[in-house]
Amino acid sequence: MSDSTHLTTWVTRETKERFAAVARHQGLSDSALLKRLVELTLQTASAGEVVTLAAADRTPRDSRLSVRIRPDDQLLLRERAAARGMAAATYVSVLTRAHLRGLAPLPKAEWLTLEKIVSELSRLARNFNQIARAANRGEHVTTPGGNDFRHFLKICVAIRDHTKGLLQANLKSWQQGYEDLT
């Protein structure tokens, strides 16, 4: 069985006609001339270029990278990753991607907390909007009673506490370990 493979490309009709004319002039078929050109290109490429290109083709999308760090930095890395609820390798990957692409990623737990905050704010806004709409239509609006205000206050306090906790966890995860360095 042959170890050969097929190499193709698309070119304009004019390019194809010119290429065929050059091949005929050299007494070759289009395929034979193309094969010669490919082989000539590979012969003239430096060995480093060919190895680099071949290695680049084999690099998987989710490639691994090994990095050596000092033991005290490893400890800080583990602490900060744990504060974010992430594995150390995932934390480094997120930081690297954020740095390279200029992103500000949020770990899943923080994202879910923010979603909960948005949901609570939406619920509160709907309640106030219903009261305002009724008042604007001239309907008799019963002012919210003490229980209603306690309910709104409870929602506001929960939102405040969730947001405060999120901000404190975020700050702690970025500052953890700095006390030891000063």
SS3 of residue 103 by DSSP: coil
pLDDT surpasses 90 at 126:
no
> Which of 64-68, 145-149, 164-168, 171-175 has the least mean pLDDT?
171-175
Give φ, ψ of 6 to 5 degrees.
Answer: -105, 135
Alpha-carbon span 23 to 34, nearest angstrom: 9
pLDDT surpasses 60 at 68:
yes
Q: Residue 180's pLDDT is what?
A: 45
pLDDT surpasses 70 at 74:
yes
> Which of 13-17, 44-48, 94-98 has the least mean pLDDT?
44-48
Distances (CA, A) of 95 to 13, 24, 88: 49, 58, 11
pLDDT surpasses 70 at 58:
no
Alpha-carbon span 29 to 24, nearest angstrom: 7
Closest by Cα among 103, 113, 170, 73 to 93: 103
Q: How many CB atoms lie within 10 A of CB 166?
A: 18
| Average predicted confidence (pLDDT) for the chain | 77
Closest by Cα among 114, 70, 108 to 86: 108
Closest by Cα among 96, 92, 98, 65 to 76: 92
